Amino acid sequence: MNKLIPSINSDTRIAIIAHVNPDGDSLGSIMALGLALMKRSNQVNIFLNDELPGRYSFLPEVHLLKKYQSNEFDDFDLCFVLDCGDDRRFGDIDLLVKSKEVINIDHHVSNNGFGDINFVRTDASSTCEIVYSIITEELEIQLDEKIATCLYTGIVTDTGNFRYESTTSYTHKVVAELLDFGVNIQEITFNLYQNNSLNSTKFLGHVLNQMEIYFNGKVAIITIDQDLLKEFDVKYEEVEGIINYARDIEGVEVAVIIKEATTDGEIKISFRSKKNYDVNELAKGFGGGGHKRASGATTKGTLTDVKESLLNKLEKMI
Amino acid sequence: MNKLIPSINSDTRIAIIAHVNPDGDSLGSIMALGLALMKRSNQVNIFLNDELPGRYSFLPEVHLLKKYQSNEFDDFDLCFVLDCGDDRRFGDIDLLVKSKEVINIDHHVSNNGFGDINFVRTDASSTCEIVYSIITEELEIQLDEKIATCLYTGIVTDTGNFRYESTTSYTHKVVAELLDFGVNIQEITFNLYQNNSLNSTKFLGHVLNQMEIYFNGKVAIITIDQDLLKEFDVKYEEVEGIINYARDIEGVEVAVIIKEATTDGEIKISFRSKKNYDVNELAKGFGGGGHKRASGATTKGTLTDVKESLLNKLEKMI
């Protein structure tokens, strides 16, 4: 087989990065690829300039993650950029210029092929699914339990437990292989889903209770102000998933969360749609964007004003 | 390969049943096996004496399900009993006596091998996983999209979306095969998880909000009386899943739902534990039982009395 990635020896200086606001797939893929490449090179650097979200701290060897600071590092031979829909999504890091070859590995449709070498497969469930192929077929490096755990975590989170339409027969074949290396599903499930804070669970209860329904049950709106966030002491990431509860109600076509940001006068809006409506259009009306079924926007104003403006836009749409 | 199931021709009279209170695995397995056997015999009867829960009405060909009434049917050559932990779990049906050969297919550890032929694999994720092997290897009947959809539904529900520890590499291999027949994951996900009633979502919010925490956060108790059930107009099956939200809180070791039954003075208790406690023991104290991590009991009394008695038992345990 023709190999695309230049051969790697013990002195090859390697950088691995992913997008800002890390998630299971970006963290799983940088750790998996990093651990695999460390079997070849002694100069592998896995960079994370964000804080590691607590629920992913169970991933093996995360202590190897380091912050990239420009003045600390010279050039790199290879820079692997993972799960970045475009070349801006990894922040200000000047790694691309400082690396001889940039290898772009991603599954987002928005990816413009910014690498010198590009592995962009938009039909893949996750970047971890592509990294699996690259490790086993392209690099021909043997998997182990730690690498398999990282890859499994990326796949399971980016497919919503194998429920999103990107999940294919191949996805399950890959996972079958990974489990043979001794991945501990119970432990991963516990860390990802069974370790929620009491506050976030109470908060979920509260906002579902307060949720408002409009347009004959077709629209569900959840409004969250700063007082509420303070009262329950919940983190930004704990709010995100709640919109799915609103979308998953029988008859609801569009679900919206309107949230007061910490910055004065800034309002964040998240949109989800079920089948018939394009919430990308809706988000554009507030200067945002995204996909047909999931989008977002940041705007200025009060919660009341933004909600009124939203209801007006919805009235025209529904 | 030696076949265990007697050869089936177009006149073989076949009955297929599963346990009462049908779930995804029992329904998926009787439908899948039934549809497969209909490719061989013209006398296949798939019996369901309960009502079909709405969320499973999307399963292909469920109109074929019929009620068994003793006086309407003569003897059967073969009776397949699926997903029944013991030979009482399918109710009062006299099929076992009226069938020449009883074929018992199940994955519950409690199964006592009551059949003339027994396919009991306690390491299987689901009865559907076993039925997959029986259809493809033992009966050598070709799968199709409808059969694959039924099998997938059973596996995905009985593994909690591939998260329970019974999920193995083989489970994912089977699912990979099933998806190749065109199973529509999106449609199944929608029917199973994204079509909740507004009332049940509001009810979830209310009870999470009211949930009580004891013993330094180790125990979460949800109490549900008849008035609450009436106020939100929720069905029994919609209450069941809520206990997982209580169990999945950081620090909670034991989660309990105490529920007033429709029958006067009857209280149903459900228990879940995370890691360190055996809730089977706890359930036994109320005349019930189950597994270490999931159990239940039905008792007499008032909600207040039962809760007090529960707290006493918990105090000794924790």
Is A189 in CB contact (< 8 Å) with chain B?
yes
pTM listed for this prediction? 0.89
Contacts of A62 (CB under 8 A, 6+ apart): A27, A31, A52, A56
Structure token digits, residue B230: 């009436």
Q: What's the rounded Cα separation, in Å, for the pair B154 and B30?
A: 10
Is A97 in CB contact (< 8 Å) with chain B?
no
CATH code at position A274: 3.10.310.30
Say whether both B87 and B236 belong to one domain: no
**Residue A225 burial by CB count (10 A; 0-12/13-18/19+): exposed, middle or buried?**
middle
| Residue ranges making up the domain that contains A206 | 199-317
Contact of A46 with A34, CB cutoff 8 Å: yes
The answer for B 236-255 residues in CB contact with A (under 8 A) is 245-252
Report the chain B residue with the minimal C-alpha distance to residue A162.
B161
Domain boundary among A160, A193, A226: A193
Is A5 inside any structural domain? no
The pLDDT of B107-115, averaged and rounded, is 89
> Which of B157, B159, B169 is the best mutation test for A, with the most CBs of A within 10 A?
B169
Domain boundary among A193, A213, A235: A193
Any idea which residue has 């307060």 for tokens?
A210
Q: What's the rounded Cα separation, in Å, for the pair B185 and A1?
A: 34
Report the chain A residue with the minimal C-alpha distance to residue B160.
A161
Is B205 in CB contact (< 8 Å) with chain A?
yes
The pLDDT of B157-168, averaged and rounded, is 92
Is A4 inside any structural domain? no
Say whether both B50 and B186 belong to one domain: yes
pLDDT tens digits for range B32-52: 999 999 999 999 999 999 999
Please give the C-alpha separations between residue B198 and each of A209, A235, B286, in angstroms, as whole numbers.
Answer: 10, 26, 34
Task: Answer whether A250 sits within 8 Å of B195, measured CB to CB.
Answer: yes
pLDDT tens digits for range A79-123: 999 999 877 777 767 888 899 999 999 998 888 899 999 999 999
> Which of A58, A143, A151, A162 is the best mutation test for B, with the most CBs of B within 10 A?
A162
Contact of A272 with A255, CB cutoff 8 Å: yes
Q: What percent of chain A has pLDDT over 90?
A: 75
Contacts of A194 in chain B (CB under 8 A): 247-248, 274
Distance from CA of B285 to the nearest CA of A (A): 27
Is A114 in CB contact (< 8 Å) with chain B?
no
Contact of B91 with B20, CB cutoff 8 Å: yes
Q: Is the pLDDT of residue A1 over 70?
A: no
Distance from CA of A108 to the nearest CA of B (A): 19
Residue B258: pLDDT band (50, 70, 90) is: very high
Task: Answer whether B201 sits within 8 Å of A167, measured CB to CB.
Answer: no
Please, how many CA atoms are within 13 Å of residue B231, restricted to the half-sphere of its CB?
10
Say whether both B184 and B59 belong to one domain: yes
Of A163, A190, A247, the CB nearest to B161: A163
Is A204 in CB contact (< 8 Å) with chain B?
yes
DSSP A54: G
Contacts of B33 (CB under 8 A, 6+ apart): B16, B80, B82, B105, B131, B134, B135
The pLDDT of B299-312, averaged and rounded, is 95
| Residue B20: per-residue pLDDT | 85
Residue A258: pLDDT band (50, 70, 90) is: very high
Report the chain B residue with the minimal C-alpha distance to residue A178.
B169
CATH code at position B111: 3.90.1640.10
Structure token digits, residue B306: 């039962």
Amino acid at B59: L
Task: Answer whether A195 sits within 8 Å of B167, measured CB to CB.
Answer: no
| Residue A64: per-residue pLDDT | 98
Q: What's the rounded Cα separation, in Å, for the pair B58 and B62?
A: 8
Distance from CA of A289 to the nearest CA of B (A): 23
Contacts of A268 (CB under 8 A, 6+ apart): A258, A259, A261, A296, A297, A298
Amino acid at B187: E
pLDDT tens digits for range A144-177: 999 999 999 999 999 989 998 889 999 999 999 9
Task: Answer whether A207 sits within 8 Å of B206, measured CB to CB.
Answer: no
Q: What's the rounded Cα separation, in Å, for the pair B104 and B79?
A: 8
The answer for A 115-144 residues in CB contact with B (under 8 A) is none
User: In the predicted model, what is the mean pLDDT of chain B?
Assistant: 92
Residue A241: pLDDT band (50, 70, 90) is: confident
Contact of A51 with A78, CB cutoff 8 Å: no
| Residue A292: per-residue pLDDT | 83
Size of interface A-B (CB pairs under 8 A): 131
Task: Answer whether B177 sits within 8 Å of A169, measured CB to CB.
Answer: yes
Q: What's the rounded Cα separation, in Å, for the pair B90 and B291?
A: 20
| Residue A237: per-residue pLDDT | 67
Torsion of CA A16, A20, A24, A27, to 10 degrees: 20
Q: Is the pLDDT of residue B202 over 80?
A: yes
Which among B73, B115, B205, B238 is positioned nearest to A204, based on CA atoms? B205
Contacts of B248 in chain A (CB under 8 A): 193-196, 201
| Residue B86: per-residue pLDDT | 75
Residue A264: pLDDT band (50, 70, 90) is: confident
Structure token digits, residue A93: 């890091």
Contacts of B249 in chain A (CB under 8 A): 196-198, 201
Contacts of B247 in chain A (CB under 8 A): 194
Rounded to 5 degrees, φ, ψ at A192 are -80, -40
Is B3 inside any structural domain? no
| Residue A126: per-residue pLDDT | 95
Is A2 inside any structural domain? no
Distance from CA of A185 to the nearest CA of B (A): 6
> In this predicted structure, which of A28-37, A123-132, B72-81, B169-178 has the lowest mean pLDDT?
B72-81
| Residue B236: per-residue pLDDT | 67
Say whether both A47 and A151 belong to one domain: yes
Contacts of B162 in chain A (CB under 8 A): 156, 161-162, 175, 185
| Residue B237: per-residue pLDDT | 67
Contact of A69 with A45, CB cutoff 8 Å: no
Is B146 inside any structural domain? yes
The total number of structural domains that make up chain B: 2
Q: Is the pLDDT of residue A75 over 80?
A: yes
The pLDDT of B192-199, averaged and rounded, is 90
Is A202 in CB contact (< 8 Å) with chain B?
yes
Say whether both A158 and A89 belong to one domain: yes
The answer for B 142-171 residues in CB contact with A (under 8 A) is 156, 161-165, 167-171
Task: Answer whether A202 sits within 8 Å of B195, measured CB to CB.
Answer: no
Say whether both B25 and B100 belong to one domain: yes
Contacts of B208 in chain A (CB under 8 A): 201-202, 204-205, 208
Report the chain A residue with the minimal C-alpha distance to residue B184.
A165
Q: Is the pLDDT of residue B238 over 80?
A: no
| Residue A236: per-residue pLDDT | 67
The answer for A 271-300 residues in CB contact with B (under 8 A) is 274
Q: What's the rounded Cα separation, in Å, for the pair B152 and A315?
A: 39
Any idea which residue has 């999307």 for tokens?
B58
Domain boundary among B174, B193, B212: B193
Say whether both A186 and A165 belong to one domain: yes
Contacts of A247 in chain B (CB under 8 A): 194
| Residue B2: per-residue pLDDT | 65
Say whether both B268 and B182 belong to one domain: no
Say whether both B89 and B220 belong to one domain: no
Say whether both B168 and B66 belong to one domain: yes
Q: What percent of chain B has pLDDT over 90?
A: 75
Is A9 inside any structural domain? no
Of B170, B190, B198, the CB nearest to A213: B198
Amino acid at B278: D
Torsion of CA A48, A54, A60, A64, to 10 degrees: 30
**Residue B194 burial by CB count (10 A; 0-12/13-18/19+): exposed, middle or buried?**
middle
Say whether both A280 and A297 belong to one domain: yes
Q: Is the pLDDT of residue B213 over 90?
A: yes
Say whether both B180 and B31 belong to one domain: yes
Is A3 inside any structural domain? no
Q: Is the pLDDT of residue A6 over 70?
A: yes
Three-state SS at A77: strand
